[in-house]
Amino acid sequence: MSRKLFTFNGGVHPDGHKAVSNATPIRAMSLLPHYVVPMRQHIGAPARPMVSIGDQVLRGQMIGAAEGYVSTAVHAPTSGRVVAIDARAVPHPSGLFDLAVVIEADGEDQALEFQPLDWRNLDPSALRNRIRDMGLAGLGGAVFPSFIKLNPGAQKIHTLILNGAECEPWITCDDRLMRERAAEIVRGIEVMRHALGCRTTLIGIEDNKPEALAAMRAAVPADMEVVSVPTLYPGGGGKQLTYTLTGVETPTGGRSTDVGIQVFNMGTAYSLYRSVELGEPLISRVVTVTGHVAQAGNFDVRIGTPLKDLLAAAGGALPGASGEIVGGPMMGFDLMDSAAPVTKAVNCLIVKNPKLFPTKPIELSCIRCGECARACPADLQPFEMYWYSRAKDFGRAQSYNLFDCIECGCCSFVCPSHIPLVDYFRFAKAEIWEREREKYSADQARIRHEFKTFRLEREKQEKADKFAKAAEKSREAAASGADVVADPDAEKKKAILQAALERAKKAKEAVTPKNTDNLPPMVQKEIDEIEARRSKVEGNTESQARHE
């Protein structure tokens, strides 16, 4: 009996363009002279470089250690020498540079001795630590460190969902992976089930990938279910696929784990297999190169491969190309610098031309048609969020659940006024995060100041209490006639004073009249004058006292 499926609201049907790249097997790229490995390739804190310029490294050697809890390690994609550790172009919509380790390949591609794991006999917590050091992160685009997603914590996970929907147009890397490496993906899924402690497993694949569906069905054991889901963008969104397969809605502002379901991408399952069963860290991934390019297809690419070299491996862009998109056309972004490398997040490179990707029409005013709301798979009101984001009234934009927006771009896709709605939402989110960061920093500074003031006050009070106690003790001792218990410090001070008094006494004796007989006349004169002034003062004081 086939599984009952549920249909989420909204969604769109853009042209898939999948056939451009899914017909040929995955190709391996030949070794390059240089690799640029960014330290920030995942959500969370960037990795901390563990190598110095001039160091020799082996393939799979850790060159960046996870820093903090939400972080993961980074590894050398080949053997060679570290020739630079500095800011380099990275694939990011901002076009900003980021810290990267540059490796000059020695051509040997010599690997560390990889240690496969006996994961079935390993405690899940030890397994997760190992996965963290292997640099595993979600390869579906979100790049969340996998060891965290594999930790159910207090939340019981009853269902594991494997996301093979690959709903974005043009992208076919998961399709090819499922067709060619289904058995390895299944072994990765077994590791996930062990770590999460759950058995129910659903593998959702869009019905426009019949070969992938067949390959996965042939590879899975009886207790994993491969489900064909309707092709509808963004059916591969975590919340949308969860709903389609189970009918369970993820709460607003929450995650699927809140309802006991964890979702992983196919590429992540495959990399997990390589990490655990082969002992090889995450140093490569499959990337689709498509669009206006000579030989579109999918490539097994080392992390750190410059995108211009990847494009060259696909025969280069055809004449008339007008730029590249990293990721899909719905959620991706324009590539600013082709020297930027492939990272764990890069699943696709699309070469544009004006016919495939015409210049966007001029943005017109919102006519309040409501098309965007009808297309929104997250049941939001994009035109309201747009209005307030544009007016920089971010509080009101947030009150319309701005952070439930998955940035799928369906609203922009259908808007008859050609308003790039999703760009406004990204801008609003970035502004809110920035303000939150500033507020957090200000709060931290205030807390530090308050604590310092409190500490100084406390120390002052402690000192005062100590003196009061000592004074009280002295008074009590005096009242009872007992010897006051000597304070060692006070005794020391007393001895110093006594010595000073002795010295002063001796000095005084040296100038007393009995020793003045032989004083020089000038000194004698001065002493006489002092004596005279003293007598006068004493005389004045006496007469004043009498008068009073």
Max CA pair span of the chain: 131
CB nearer to ligand SF4: pick between 6 and 387 = 387
Q: Does residue 281 have a cis peptide bond before it, meaning omega lies within 30 degrees of 0?
A: no
Cα separation, 313 vs 190, whole angstroms: 34
CB of 407 to ligand SF4, least distance (A): 5
- Of residues 141 and 145, the one with the C-beta less far from ligand SF4: 141
Contacts of residue 406, defined as CB under 8 A and 6 or more positions apart, other chains included, come to 234, 237, 239, 377, 378
Q: Residue 89: what residue type?
A: A
| Closest distance of CB 430 from ligand SF4, Å | 15
Q: Which is nearer to ligand SF4, 361 or 520 (CB)?
A: 361
CA distance 202 to 459: 62
Helix axes 210-219, 182-196, angle to 10 degrees: 60
Nearer to ligand SF4, 143 or 375 (CB): 375
In the complex with ligand SF4, the residue whose CB is nearer, 283 or 380, is 380
Is-contact 299 289, C-beta < 8 A? yes
C-beta closer to ligand SF4: residue 170 or 386: 386
Tell me the closest approach of the beta carbon of residue 239 to ligand SF4, in angstroms: 10
Residue 2 CB, nearest approach to ligand SF4 (Å): 29
Taking the least distance from each CB to ligand SF4, the nearer of 136 and 411 is 411
**Whole-Å CA distances, 267 to 164, 177, 330, 356, 504:** 9, 7, 20, 28, 91
Residue 350 Cβ, how far from ligand SF4 at the closest point, in Å? 19
- The least CB distance from residue 328 to ligand SF4, in Å, is 13
Residue 264 or 383 with smaller CB distance to ligand SF4? 383
- Closer residue to ligand SF4 (CB): 77 or 377: 377
Residues paired with 202 in a beta bridge: 161, 225
Q: How far apart are CA 132 and CA 281, in angstroms?
A: 10
Rounded to an integer, what distance in angstroms lies between the CA atom of residue 151 and that of residue 124?
8
Q: Supply the minimum distance, in Å, between the C-beta of residue 376 and ligand SF4.
A: 3
Question: Nearest distance from residue 14's CB to ligand SF4, in Å?
Answer: 13
Alpha-carbon distances, residue 186 vs 52, 122, 225 (angstroms): 39, 19, 11
Residue 298 Cα to chain centre, angstroms: 29
Q: How far is the CB of 249 from ligand SF4 (least distance, A)?
A: 15
- Cβ neighbors of 495 (< 8 A, separation 6 or more) are none
CB 37 within 8 A of CB 63: yes
**CA 221 from centroid of its chain's CA atoms:** 36
Q: Is 317 helix (H, G, I), strand (E, B) or coil?
A: strand
Q: Which is nearer to ligand SF4, 325 or 411 (CB)?
A: 411
Mention every residue, 6+ apart, whose C-beta is less than 8 A from residue 422. 405, 407, 408, 409, 411, 412
- Beta carbon of residue 259, minimum distance to ligand SF4 (angstroms, whole number): 19
Query: Which chain residues interact with ligand SF4 by CB under 6 A?
Result: 366-372, 375-376, 378, 380, 382-383, 386, 405-411, 415-417, 419, 421-422, 425
Report d(CA 269, CA 139) in Å as an integer.
9
